[in-house]
Amino acid sequence: MAITLFDLSGKAGRRFSPFGWRARMALAHKGLERDARVEPIRFSDKAKLAFSGQQLVPVLVDGDDVVSDSWAIACHLEAAYADRPSLFGGDAGRGMARLIAAWVDTQVHPRLAPLIVADVVDQIEPIDLDYFRSSRETRFGKRLEEIRAEREGRVDAFREVLAPARRVLGDQPYIGGAAPTFADYALFGAFMWARGVSPFRLLAGDDPVHGWRERLLDSFDGMPRREPGHPV
Ligand SMILES: N[C@@H](CCC(=O)N[C@@H](CS)C(=O)NCC(=O)O)C(=O)O
């Protein structure tokens, strides 16, 4: 069955959506990423998503199924490709992956966004610049340049919010245990967003989260590392 992933796209097709990365890693986990067609969606292209009944990427089209929202995409893949490696490791794992995704959405992304959002303008097409600047300056209540100027003072808060992951990853290679699950991809998406747009250094080299990120960059034959991005 033909699979298409509608994913956010910047300059030269650079893919940096954290939620797009969750979906992309989930496809890779199921062995489907290589053959999936990618439909790049710029911020100004969102009318192309009208068929999905909403305006956000990622959207997965799998045969007759149209699935939007990265969590719904993971659940769809888990059900539709149940004979392939599990994304959750059962119902209990699914519940915990959902908690991790919710933690990333509500705690990690809000602390990460101010560190990197101003750099997105260098990675998007000119046609998207006005929309991006005005939507983000409204969201943050200040100019992108002001947000960037404050980031050195905010990086500690970002590192602190990773404390639960740091404690676990000091003892085991992945949040999922010996191998990654969707819980790992939920957090990893945040780092792929950052890597795709910003040279700002987020993690110290001796942070267990740094080592975990390295392992995931090398996963699936280095697929994430091959994506253009800043050194991390
Ligand atoms: N809950 C959704 C969130 C999707 C989302 O926020 N996507 C962003 C890209 S990271 C988007 O489409 N933004 C469009 C915009 O900002 O105009 C998911 O998990 O997929």
3-state secondary structure 134-150: HHHHHHHCCCHHHHHHC
3-state secondary structure 82-108: CCCCCCCCCHHHHHHHHHHHHHHHHHH
Q: Which atom of ligand 1 is nearest to the CA of 193?
A: 10
For residue 5, list its beta bridge partners.
38, 60
CB atoms within 10 A of CB 105: 16
Which pLDDT tens digit goes with each residue over 97-151? 999 999 999 999 999 999 999 999 999 999 999 999 999 999 999 999 999 999 9
Residue owning the nearest CA to atom 12 of ligand 1: 56
Which pLDDT tens digit goes with each residue over 161-187? 999 999 999 999 999 999 999 999 999
User: Does the structure show a pLDDT above 80 at 1?
Assistant: no
5 closest CA partner among 28, 104, 94: 28
DSSP letters, 169-230, are HTTSSBTTBSS--HHHHHHHHHHHHHHHH-----S-TT-HHHHHHHHHHTHHHHHHHHS---
| C-alpha distances out from residue 38 to 9, 10, 64, 80, 164, Å | 10, 13, 17, 19, 34
Q: Cα of 17 to ligand 1 centre, how many Å?
A: 7
| CB distance 74 to ligand 1 below 6 Å | no
| Count of helix runs (H) and strand runs (E) in the chain | 11, 4
Residue owning the nearest CA to atom 9 of ligand 1: 17
Q: Cα of 206 to ligand 1 centre, how many Å?
A: 32
Q: Which atom of ligand 1 is nearest to the CA of 58?
A: 20
User: Does the structure show a pLDDT above 80 at 197?
Assistant: yes
For residue 130, the model assigns a pLDDT of 97
As a whole number, the mean pLDDT across the chain is 97
For residue 152, the model assigns a pLDDT of 96
Q: Cα of 172 to ligand 1 centre, how many Å?
A: 31
The pair phi, psi for residue 122, each rounded to 5°, is -80, -10
Query: Residue 15 corresponds to which tokens in the numbers above?
Result: 């893919």
Q: Cα of 104 to ligand 1 centre, how many Å?
A: 14
For residue 38, list its beta bridge partners.
5
User: Does the structure show a pLDDT above 80 at 92?
Assistant: yes
Which pTM does this prediction carry?
Answer: 0.98
What is the Cα–Cα distance from 52 to 50, expressed in whole angstroms?
A: 5
